[in-house]
Each structure stands twice: as structure tokens, then as C-alpha cells.
């Protein structure tokens, strides 16, 4: 057996094949959807997955305002943020966020499932979330993905 013919191929910035995919969030459970989106963004579904390289796809999420939460999480779950000023801790429920900024719920869930380092911050820029059924990325000819 020729050992030189079996080389592990690592992807790099030049050799990676990045695709555009559209995910419809209508009626999907938030956490289950977010884990699948994070998998696509990270590139774990590809055969040439390399942990330290951005080899995932660009993901467009539509109908973010129609995502589901199970149980009583719509009113009981609390998102905490801080303004940066003394006494500036703010709380919001998913119901409030869906009314004001529905895309932030999916963005927050997916961001928590990505690595907490420079690569994770770079991967997060490959996520595009829209509340309605339309998106401005038709020129990229995205393929629809159903989970």
C-alpha cells in the first residue's frame, strides 16, 4: 500500500466551497432549528470540514417571526442584556422580542451555538435573518433547505 496516496486534505480560505442556502423558519421549534443552522454555518455537513477554517455556508433565514417555542417559554424565558450604564440591566421575553425585533431571537440562539472565539465571530457574519418571507439575496441563487 502506498502511504503517500492517503493524505488528509484540510480546507483553507482558497479551497473552501461556500454555498448560499435558504431556511424557512415557519412553524419550526427555535432550538432545533438553531442547531441545524449552526451546523450549516460551521460547515460540519461537508466532507472537508476543518475546525479552524470558515468552511460553512451562508445561511438565509426567512419567516423568523413565525418560529415556535415549546412549553411556556414564550412568556417565562428571559433574555438579559446590559446597556453599559450603571443600573442598565434590561430584561425581555420572547413575546416582546417577536413584536419588536423577531430576527434577534434566531440570531441569539444561533450565536450561542457557535464557537466563542475569533472564528465564531467570523462565522456569525454568514447568517442573514429576515422576519418576512422575502430576502434581498436572490442574486446569489440560494438553494432551499428543509430540515
Evaluate whether residue 13 is within a structural domain.
Answer: no
**44 belongs to a structural domain:** yes
Alpha-helix runs per DSSP H in the chain: 30-42, 73-76, 94-100, 103-111, 118-124
Q: For residue 59, list its beta bridge partners.
A: 21, 127
For 78-102, give one letter per residue: b (16+ CB within 10 A) or e.
eeeeeeeeeeeeeebebeebbeeeb
Strand, helix or coil at 2?
A: coil
Tell me whether residue 12 is in a domain.
no
Q: How many domains does the chain have?
A: 1
Could you tell me if residue 103 is inside a domain? yes
Domain membership of residue 11 (yes or no) is: no
**H/E stretch holding 71:** none
Determine the structural domain holding residue 56 and report its residue range. 20-145
Residue with cell 432550538: 31
Q: Which three cell numbers stand for residue 38?
A: 449552526
Q: What's the predicted TM-score (pTM) here?
A: 0.92
Residue 40 lies in a domain: yes
pLDDT in 10s for each residue of the chain, 147 residues: 566 677 788 889 899 999 999 999 999 999 999 999 999 999 999 999 999 999 999 999 999 999 999 999 999 999 999 999 999 999 999 999 999 999 999 999 999 999 999 999 999 999 999 999 999 999 999 999 998
In a domain, 3, yes or no: no
**Domain of 135: which CATH number?**
3.90.1180.10
Contact of 139 with 129, CB cutoff 8 Å: no
From CA 100, how far away is CA 106, in angstroms rounded? 13
Residue 49 lies in a domain: yes
Amino acid at each position: 500500500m502506498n502511504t503517500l496516496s492517503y493524505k488528509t486534505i484540510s480546507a483553507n480560505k482558497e479551497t473552501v466551497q461556500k454555498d448560499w442556502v435558504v431556511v424557512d423558519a415557519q412553524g419550526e421549534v427555535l432550538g432545533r432549528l438553531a442547531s441545524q443552522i449552526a451546523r450549516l454555518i460551521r460547515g460540519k455537513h461537508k466532507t472537508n470540514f476543518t475546525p479552524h477554517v470558515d468552511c460553512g455556508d451562508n445561511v438565509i433565514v426567512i419567516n423568523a417571526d413565525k418560529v415556535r417555542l415549546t412549553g411556556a417559554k414564550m412568556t417565562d424565558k428571559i433574555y438579559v442584556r446590559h446597556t453599559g450604564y450603571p443600573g442598565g440591566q434590561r430584561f425581555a421575553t420572547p413575546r416582546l422580542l417577536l413584536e419588536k425585533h423577531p430576527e434577534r431571537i434566531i440570531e441569539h440562539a444561533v450565536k450561542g451555538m457557535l464557537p466563542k472565539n475569533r472564528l465564531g465571530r467570523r462565522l456569525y457574519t454568514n447568517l442573514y435573518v429576515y422576519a418576512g418571507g422575502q430576502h434581498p439575496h436572490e442574486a446569489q441563487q440560494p438553494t432551499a433547505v428543509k430540515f
